[in-house]
Each structure stands twice: as C-alpha cells, then as structure tokens.
Chains A and B, each alone.
Chain A
Amino acid sequence: MRLDLLSAMNVERAARRACVLVTELEGGAQRLVLAQDVERDPLAEQLDAALRSGKSGAIEHEGRACFLTVQVPPVRIVVIGAVHITQALAPMARLAGFDLTIIDPRTAFATPERFPDVKLIAEWPQNALPAIAPDRYTAMAFFTHDPKIDDPGLEAALSAECFYVGALGSRKTHGKRVERLKEKGFADAQIARIRAPVGLDIGAVSPAEIAVSVLGEIILALRKKPLRADAPARAGAAT
C-alpha cells in the first residue's frame, strides 16, 4: 500500500468520513475511493453496497479479483445524563472499544470526580451536540428521564438517524415522550426507532446491570444488521 493512500485513509477516518480501498489482488494495484466519489466510480454499485454493509470483502470486476477494504467511521456512544447507570456504562464502553461522551447540564451530576477519564460536557444537549455532530455511526442513550434535558437530544438523534437511540423511562413516561415528539413533527417510523424501555430484557436491576443491557443492545443494533445507509427519509421535522 502506498503511504499516501494509508495517510489518506487515516485522514478520512479522523474526519468521520467513509471510504473504500480497492486492491487488485493480482499485481497489487490500489486506489482509494472517498464516499463522495463513489457515485462516479466504475465500481459504483459494488462500492455502494460495501459502504452500506460496512463490511470489507472480495469482488470480481472484469474477470479480476479485487478486495474492498471498507472503512466506515468508528462507532461512538453519546449519553445524555451523568447518572448512576452512566458511571457503570463508561468503563464498560471503554473496554468494549467504544468512544463515549457524556452530556449533562446539571453540574452536580457532571463532575470529573464521578466520571474520571471520560469526555464529560456540562452543558445542555442542544448546545453541546452541534459540535459532536451525531451521525449514523453514533449511538445515543438518554438516561435523565427529564424531558427538558432528554428531548432536545432525542430530536437531534432521530434527525441524524443515529443507529441506536435508547431512552430510559417507564412505558407511561415513554408514552408522553412519543406524544411530544409527534407534536414536533416526527413520523411514527422515526419515533418507533427509540428503544424504550431501554436495554435488552435480561432482567437487569442494578445500575451496572442496566448498563450491561444497554451496551448489549447497542452492540445488537450495530452488528445484527448493517448500519442503515438507506434509512427512510426524514419527515420534515424540526431538528
């Protein structure tokens, strides 16, 4: 691999942009196709399919065997709510290899003492999220069950088509949440993507157990089906 191609791949990854490295297995010729250029590429169809699945693999093109090294942005987790569950989730997420950011405007909760070595932003989600720019490769979990804090983040997560959106709260709390999002103009299909009650049904009781169930649910959403590059068009909703 040429060093300039390797550098370019690393630049794309750092900028959270997808790309595909095409290697001819006979002879080793290589080129890098950026996500924005896929449409115009002779291999457009195969490259597009590879990006949708997020999986590397071998293909045939005009009788030649090519290998597609697919690079999609690293998965991030953004948690709204610096609560007890989050204290357990932060080290678990780190071990599992996920980049994690916590947002909570309540400075009594969002303290470095409670969250050592974690990216912690003591601001309102609507102020903190634009810089983070959630995308399809971001999971967002909502743990405050305070609509003032959760809702602006939820709206951003649905609009950005985050691959995982989970929100803590009883069925009753969630019912009210659904009503508020409908009033904001979100479509039923979008709202149905919110996982509530949050977490896999493993009978979790303690904050750490709930953290396990949420991390498991995030991994399920990530691995069980391809990241949705073809998610339904957003209804003209507020962002």
Chain B
Amino acid sequence: MLASDEDILARAEEWRKAGKGVAIATVTETWGSAPRPVGSHLVIDEDGNFLGSVSGGCVEGEVVSEAMDTIGDGKPRMLEFGVADEAAWRVGLSCGGRIRVYVEKVD
C-alpha cells in the first residue's frame, strides 16, 4: 500500500521514539513542472531508511544523504534542485522543474 502523508509523519514519530536519529524533508517551493506538491514529506532515519517522497525519485538519494548530515549536526538545511544537466545527473529533475526542500532534524 502506498504511504500517505499521515503514515509518513506517524512513522517519523515512531522512529524517533524508538531512539533513532530522524530527519524530515519538506518541499517548500516548486517552480514549473514539479512532481510532488509543496508540503510533501520525506522522512529519513539514521540508517538511511526513508518513507515518502519529495520528487518522483529523482533527488531522493541526495536528500537522504543531506538528511544524514542534518541528523549528525542538528542544523536545518535548505536544498534546491533544478533541471538535470550532465554534471547534476545524480540530482537533477528530469521533468524540468525546480524544487526547494527544507531538511530538519527531529529532536
């Protein structure tokens, strides 16, 4: 079954209460054609498990990796992803849009 937003935040709470380091990523702005609406969440635990999405799978890998840093140092981060180019193959949005993602630690 697909995870809905409610499952996602409930899971973040469960993970944290189980003693894990947890970060929440939220889409705060989109421009042009973006795969997930503003307010979409991705939650990440310290082991790299994640639930939800902030794009169609294009940038989740990078968000998870940044989330690890946030879990480590406790500092929120604002990430921005734009159109895929060769250099940004790993982290581009092939749909041509741009998104901004806020990553924060649950503490």
Partner-B contacts on A (CB < 8 A): 1-3, 6-7, 9-10, 13, 23, 25, 28, 55-58, 67, 69-71, 74, 94-95, 97
Complex CA gap A8/B78 in Å reads 24
Q: Does B99 contact A (CB under 8 A)?
A: no
What chain A residues lie within 8 Å of B28 (beta carbons)?
25, 58, 67
Complex CA gap A66/B37 in Å reads 17
Tell me the minimal C-beta distance from A56 to chain B in angstroms: 3
Q: Give the nearest-CB partner of B10 in chain A.
A: A10
- Most chain A C-beta atoms within 10 Å of own C-beta, residue among B2, B28, B104, B106: B28
Name the prevailing secondary structure of the A interface residues.
Answer: mixed
Asked whether, in the complex, the Cβ of A6 is within 8 Å of the Cβ of B39, the reply is no
Asked whether, in the complex, the Cβ of B16 is within 8 Å of the Cβ of A6, the reply is yes
Enumerate 27 A-B pairs (CB-CB under 8 Å) in ascending A order.
A1-B24, A1-B107, A2-B106, A3-B106, A3-B107, A6-B9, A6-B12, A6-B16, A7-B13, A9-B9, A10-B9, A10-B10, A13-B9, A13-B10, A23-B102, A23-B104, A25-B102, A28-B76, A55-B37, A57-B38, A57-B39, A58-B28, A58-B29, A58-B38, A71-B5, A74-B6, A97-B2
12 extra interface residue pairs, beta carbon distance < 8 Å, beyond A1-B104, A6-B106? A1-B105, A2-B107, A3-B106, A6-B24, A10-B9, A25-B28, A25-B78, A28-B104, A56-B38, A57-B38, A74-B4, A95-B2
Name the prevailing secondary structure of the B interface residues.
Answer: mixed
Partner-A contacts on B (CB < 8 A): 1-2, 4-6, 9-10, 12-13, 16-17, 24, 26, 28-29, 37-39, 76, 78, 102, 104-107
What chain B residues lie within 8 Å of A95 (beta carbons)?
2
What chain B residues lie within 8 Å of A28 (beta carbons)?
76, 104
Asked whether, in the complex, the Cβ of A6 is within 8 Å of the Cβ of B37, the reply is no
Q: Give the nearest-CB partner of A70 in chain B.
A: B39
Tell me the minimal C-beta distance from B67 to chain A in angstroms: 13
Q: Give the nearest-CB partner of A75 in chain B.
A: B4
Known: A6-B9, A10-B9. A69 touches B4 (CB 8 A): no
A-B pairs, 4 with minimum CB distance: A56-B39, A28-B76, A67-B28, A97-B4
Asked whether, in the complex, the Cβ of B39 is within 8 Å of the Cβ of A55, the reply is yes
Tell me the minimal C-beta distance from A211 to chain B in angstroms: 19
Q: Quick one: which of A1, A58, A70, A94 contacts B106, CB cutoff 8 A?
A: A1
Q: Give the nearest-CB partner of B16 in chain A.
A: A3
What chain A residues lie within 8 Å of B78 (beta carbons)?
25
Asked whether, in the complex, the Cβ of B4 is within 8 Å of the Cβ of A67, the reply is no
Asked whether, in the complex, the Cβ of A10 is within 8 Å of the Cβ of B13, the reply is yes
